[in-house]
A and B are shown apart, each in its own frame.
Chain A
């Protein structure tokens, strides 16, 4: 079974600064997908960024980028120019190929200081 570990229960960053959220995972599979999801308080979970394991290039989406280290099984999220609207719970998630569901980490609560 796959496991996902987020070692930072809470992170705090000043508005406009950069923050990196950590995620490691364990799997014996070679082909899979990794995701970062954002869950604001009382709002639905939305996708921030995705990475296919077979792609060496790190995914980027505007201010969000990942550092994917397949050999180290590490998948960190960097948020540049942090904004107040980025405050939320961030979940790292793993998915095998096919229709299997997501395996989530325990989440990191991101606080943005004005």
Chain B
């Protein structure tokens, strides 16, 4: 019954080597979010897609990009990972068309940069 699925759960990448994290959802929600959560810190919103419209947070580094090819999938691309990008990356979804206002989260991808 997994509703928001993130792959992989753990990702190790080399310094400067592009990496892509993926998220899929079975909820048919029109909004998808990417958060970065560093150790012992609160999740921080990087960007979100409202349908096909991309909304970037003002302080999200250019190194982070995202793609949403269809309703179900969303990708986070890190073009040149640095040591400071090591974190848990959380994908979440929500629907603006329902009375439910909550966001549903995936289990996250823990990224290690070596």
Which residues of A does B touch, CB under 8 Å?
33, 35, 37, 43-47, 50, 52, 91, 95, 98-107
Contact = CB atoms under 8 A, between A and B. Distances in A.
A47 B104 CA distance: 8
Nearest to A104: B42
A102 B103 contact: yes
Interface in B71-99: 90, 92, 94, 96
B33 A101 contact: yes
Given A99-B48, A99-B50, A44 B106 contact: yes
B90 A98 contact: no
A25 to B, nearest CB: 13
Given A45-B105, A47-B102, A95-B101, A101 B42 contact: no
Given A33-B101, A91-B43, A107-B42, A99 B107 contact: no
Given A95-B101, A99-B50, A99-B55, 9 more contacts: A44-B107, A44-B108, A45-B90, A45-B105, A50-B101, A91-B43, A99-B30, A101-B33, A107-B42
B19 interface: no
A105 B45 CA distance: 12
A83 to B, nearest CB: 22
Contacts of A105: 42
Given A99-B96, A101-B33, A101-B45, A50 B102 contact: yes
Contacts of A35: 102
A16 B101 CA distance: 31
A104 B43 contact: yes
Enumerate the 3 nearest inter-chain pairs by beta-carbon distance, A residue then B residue, closest first: A101-B45, A104-B42, A45-B105
Most buried by A among B35, B44, B55, B102: B102
Contact of A106 (B35, B41, B90, B105): B41
